Amino acid sequence: MFQLIHQLAFYVHVMAGSLAMVVFWLPMLAKKGSAKHVKYGRYFVNGMYAVSVSGLIMTILVLIDPVGIREPARNLSFEAATNLAHQNRLFAGFLLMLSILVFNSVRHSIMVLRVKSERILLRTPLHVGLFVLLGLVGLIMGYVGTIQGVVLFQIFAGLCIVNSIATIHYIFKAEVKKREWIIAHLGSILGAGIGAYTAFFVFGGSRLFSQLVSGSGQVLLWVLPGVVGTIASIYLAKKYRRQYRVA
Question: pLDDT class for 197, splitting at 50, 70, 90?
Answer: confident
Q: What is the mean pLDDT of the chain?
A: 83
Residue 27 scores a pLDDT above 60: yes
Q: What pTM was computed for the model?
A: 0.85
Residue 96 scores a pLDDT above 90: yes
Which of 84-88, 138-142, 207-211 bottoms out in mean pLDDT, i.e. has the lowest? 207-211
Residue 110 scores a pLDDT above 80: yes
Pairwise CA distance, residues 229 & 193, whole Å: 8
Name the amino acid, one letter, at 164.
S
Q: How confident is the model over 5-33, as a mean pLDDT?
A: 85
